[in-house]
């Protein structure tokens, strides 16, 4: 029997497949921040990318992913100690990846017939 995914799930999967390269760019910027080689333009670009990720995730109904991206964007803009920001962003990236894996798993799980909610 073929697995039947809804059109919403197919759209989520297509969008989720575009995210891993963004994770690599964010990770690269965080590591540059850690060794004091990232300029303010790179950090602002990362924050902007995280804001875009948040808005797109909210549009697809992936609220955990959106919240993790929003927290990271806020932390990237925040003042204060650089090492504190780097540590928080590293933890945030780990959280973002966990939420990404959960969203991908949810999007690839067939929905129950008729009710529109995914099977547990």
Q: Would residue 114 count as lying in a domain? A: no
Q: Would residue 14 count as lying in a domain? A: no
Q: How many domains does the chain have?
A: 1
What are the pLDDT digits (tens) for 65-92?
999 999 999 999 988 788 999 999 999 9
CB 4 within 8 A of CB 110: yes
Q: Would residue 4 count as lying in a domain? A: no
Q: Would residue 95 count as lying in a domain? A: yes
Q: Predicted confidence band at 1 (pLDDT cuts at 50, 70, 90)?
A: very low
Closest by CA position to 46, among listed 71, 77, 5: 77
User: For residue 4, what pLDDT is reported?
Assistant: 86
* Domain containing residue 99: 24-107
Q: Quick check: helix, strand or coil at residue 104? A: helix
């Amino acid at each position: 029997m073929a697995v039947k995914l809804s059109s919403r799930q197919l759209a989520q999967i297509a969008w989720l497949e575009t995210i891993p390269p963004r994770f690599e760019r964010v990770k690269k910027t965080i590591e540059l921040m850690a060794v004091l080689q990232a300029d303010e333009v790179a950090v602002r670009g990362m924050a902007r990318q995280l804001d875009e990720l948040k808005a797109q995730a909210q549009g697809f109904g992936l609220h955990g992913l959106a919240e993790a991206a929003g927290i990271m964007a806020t932390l990237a803009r925040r003042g204060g100690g650089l090492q504190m920001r780097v540590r928080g962003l590293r933890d945030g990236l780990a959280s973002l990846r966990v939420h990404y894996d959960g969203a991908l798993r949810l999007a690839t799980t067939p929905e129950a017939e008729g009710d529109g909610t995914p099977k547990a």
